[in-house]
Every structure is written in structure tokens, then in C-alpha cells.
Amino acid sequence: MGLAISFVATAKEKVWYHGCPKRGKGCYNTNLTDKGGCCIWYNEAQYLGDIEEHLGITIQQVSKEMKIKADEFDGKVVYGEKKKEL
């Protein structure tokens, strides 16, 4: 059992996506790729939805107050605990 924490933006973010010959070195072209630039809109919320759909589950989200709801694993998993030899 592992623990994964991801920070997912609620708004789209303009990010570098270099397609230029120098692969970003010395590039300052902030236009979108469809306008000949080296940026795209990155929609993390959409990607999270795609992952949830692929896995067939809803990934738990933390509230703004940083409170985490209990689930079926609550209290049953100790992170960092070594497997016992049989």
C-alpha cells in the first residue's frame, strides 16, 4: 500500500510545451502552439477526471480546511511499515 499526494489546480494553467528546434533553450515565445508558440493550456482537473474514469474510482480530495475523510483503509494501513517475513 502506498500513499500518493497530488496538488491539482482548479483552473487551467499556461505551461511551456516546446516544439522549437532548441527545445526551449533561449525561447521566450509564450504564444500557444496553435499560434506558432511554445505554450499550451494544461487542464489538471480534466486529467484527474480522465484518470478516475480509467481506474473506475473517484479519487479522494482534501477540503480547503485540509481535512481528510476516513475511508475503508483508515487505521488499517501503517505507511512505512515493513512486510513481515512468512
What residue segments make up the domains of the chain, in order of their start? Answer: 12-73
50-53 long-range Cβ contacts below 8 angstroms, 24+ apart: none
Confidence of residue 32 (pLDDT cuts 50, 70, 90): very high
Once rounded to an integer, what is the mean pLDDT over residues 36-61?
A: 91
pTM for the model stands at 0.60
CB 37 within 8 A of CB 15: no
Confidence of residue 64 (pLDDT cuts 50, 70, 90): confident
More confident residue, 1 or 8: 8
Residue 54 has pLDDT above 80, yes or no: yes
Once rounded to an integer, what is the mean pLDDT over residues 21-28?
A: 86
Instruction: Provide the grid cell at 22.
Output: 532548441
